[in-house]
Structures are given as structure tokens and as C-alpha cells.
Amino acid sequence: MRALVRYVAQQPNAAPFRLPVDVELYPQYAAVVTEPMDLRAVDRRLDAREYGRSHKAALKDVRRVFRNARLFNLPGSEIYGAAHRLE
């Protein structure tokens, strides 16, 4: 699972999803997205074995990254499209 997360993070469209959203640049993000997640956080949780042996929980967090992007960004935007393609 870790290899998959790292593979996704290295894709050209993945830059917006690698790190947490900067809430100073996007202060409204916290009001829209109640469970923020990014690929680095998933990777760190995998490294810390916070998901245990269940890849299901890790996959759920990866999907949350892209679901949050689609929730916050408008359909047709570059980030919305990238989230759709990467998921």
C-alpha cells in the first residue's frame, strides 16, 4: 500500500495533494472540509503502522484526499480534474 501511495504522490497531477492545504491561503477550506487529509499524512500513518494490517483504512484516507479536493474545488477546475484522474 505504501508503494501505491508513493506512486500516486509522484504523478504529475499530484502536487496539490502531497501536503496539507494551506489554510492561510485558503481560509474557507476548514469550513468546507471537516476531515482534511493529504498523501504525506497517509504515508506517515503507514510508516507509523497506524492503519495496522488493514489496507482498507489507508485506501479510505487516500480516497478522502481526492473527495476533499472535489468538495472544495469547482467542477471543471484543474484540481477537481486532477483529483478525478488520480482516484
| Inter-residue contact 69 to 29 (CB < 8 Å) | no
Give the pLDDT score at 54. Answer: 82
pTM of the full predicted structure? 0.94
Pairwise CA distance, residues 69 & 13, whole Å: 12
Tens-place pLDDT, residues 14-62 = 999 999 999 999 999 999 999 999 999 999 999 999 999 889 999 999 9
| Inter-residue contact 8 to 83 (CB < 8 Å) | no
Fold of 1-86: Histone Acetyltransferase; Chain A (1.20.920)
Number of H helices, E strands in the chain: 5, 0
- Going by C-alpha positions, the residue among 4, 63, 14, 73 that lies closest to residue 37 is 63
Tell me the mean pLDDT in the region 62-83. Answer: 98
36: which residues sit within 8 A by CB, 6+ positions away? 20, 21, 29, 30, 68
